[in-house]
Structure 1
Amino acid sequence: MSLINERQDFSTIADLFLLHGSMQSPAFLDGRLCAGLAMHDLTAEAWLEEVCLALGVEQPRDEPSAEHFLGWRRQTLDVLSGSELTFEPLLPDDLFSLAERAQGLKEWTLGFLEVVEDAGSAPRESWSPALREALGDLEGIAAMEVELEESTENEGDLFALAEHVRMAAMLLYTEQHPGLPQVEDTENDTRH
């Protein structure tokens, strides 16, 4: 079975970063990936180049590493464009402390917003008020305090923020790619 078909999760990608000598979290790059797919239809080649640049290497260390990086992009594109609306940002899971998960969410949001801002104001003119508001909310999340104490209340708040980020990413993708995902009734679609 090809590695490109395996489910990519935060720990797998973080371990891959370590293999390349990087201690950075993959959350920031995942945010950039999601926005890049939405705003620029980020190609596999451009994605691999961006990952290598972020890791400070000329190319992935081996073929399996390259397959994992490309699988990460493919998986993200599949869920963003799919009708199931199952997209999830690549974030630290419950094995990490609440503060580490909050930091991951903040980094993801910063990466996502960086690509959106680099696109300039032209694309924003066609965005819905809901998307503009969601992206404005992401700016608040990007500025949040991440030193959270472990508590049920903070856990719930962080979950709600992660859900907000998830919905904003899907909204950006669907507005930039009308008709994808196909969530409306397609029975009345007259295109052939």
Structure 2
Amino acid sequence: MSLIDERQDFSDVADVFLLHGSMQSPAFLDGRLSALLALRDVSAEAWLEEVCISLGVEQPRDQASAERLLGWRRQTLEALSASDLNFAPLLPDELFSLGEQAQGLKEWTLGFMEVVEDVVDGELRERWSQTLCEAIDDLAGIGHIETDIDDSPENENDLFALTEHVRMAAMLLYTEQHPGKPQVEQADAPVH
């Protein structure tokens, strides 16, 4: 089984960043990736180039790193376009403190919104549903959340709700920009 076939999580991608001498969180770039794929797609080559620029390297250090970074793009695209709506932002999991998880969510949202603000013009936004407009407006606020929080059940519940809101906003943006996708009916259709 190659790295491409594995489901990647936050730590997998963060490890590739560390291999390249970067301590940055992959959350910001995952937000950018999700928005790029939702709005206009980003080719594998362009994605690899963006990640390398962010890491301050000319190219991935080795084939395994390149495969992992390209697998990250493919995994995100598949999740956004899947009929089972299983997309999830690449964020720190329960192995991290709630403060670190909140910081990851904030960074993801900032990356996502950076692309939305760069790509979306008034004409495109006018074609969006009111639900999508409100969801995107909410994301701008999530980009300013307090991240110095303690590990309490209340904060955990709040963070879960914000993460779910971000997840749904990304899927809504993808589905409105790609009418007919995901197509649940086609998932079981025979291939001729």
User: By the TM > 0.5 criterion, same fold?
Assistant: yes
Paired residue for 2:130?
129
Aligned to 2:96: 96
Worse-matched range after superposition: 25-34 or 120-129: 120-129
Secondary structure (helix, strand or coil) at the match of 2:74 reads helix
Residues 138-178 of structure 1 show CA distances to partners (whole Å, capped at 9, x for unaligned) of: 01100111111111000000000000000000000000000
- Matches of 1:92 and 1:110, distance apart in 2: 15
Match of 1:138 in 2: 139
- Return the alpha-carbon distance in structure 1 between the equivalents of residues 47 and 7 of structure 2: 18
- The TM-score normalised by the length of structure 1 is 0.94
Number of the residue aligned with 2:33? 33
Instruction: Give yes or no for the alignment of 1:45 onto 2:45.
Output: yes
The residue aligned with 1:170 is: 171
- How many angstroms apart in 2 are the aligned matches of 1:17 and 1:76? 18
Cα root mean square deviation, aligned: 1.0
Counterpart of 2:153 in structure 1 is 152
Partners of 2:73 and 2:120 in 1: how far apart?
A: 23
Tell me, in whole angstroms, the C-alpha distance in 1 between the residues paired with 2:141 and 2:118.
18
The residue identity in structure 2 corresponding to 1:73 is R
Letter in 2 for 1:53: I
| Alpha-carbon shift at residue 120 of structure 1 (Å) | 3.3
Q: 1:40 & 1:49 partners in 2: Cα distance? A: 17
Aligned length: 185
Structure 1, unaligned runs of 5 or more:
187-192
Opposite residue 116 of structure 2, the aligned amino acid is V
**2:189 corresponds to which residue?**
none
Runs (4+) of structure 1 exceeding 6 A deviation are none
| TM-score normalised according to structure 2 size | 0.94
Rounded to whole Å, the distance in 2 between the matches of 1:169 and 1:61 is 31
CA distance in 1, matches of 2:132, 2:120: 15
Instruction: Provide the C-alpha distance between the structure 2 equivalents of 1:148 and 1:138, rounded to a whole number of angstroms.
Output: 19
Unmatched segments (≥5 aa) in structure 2: 187-192
Give the drift of 1:12: 0.5
Q: Deviations over 1:61-95 (max 9, x none)?
A: 01110000000000000010010000000000000
Look up the match of 2:16. 16
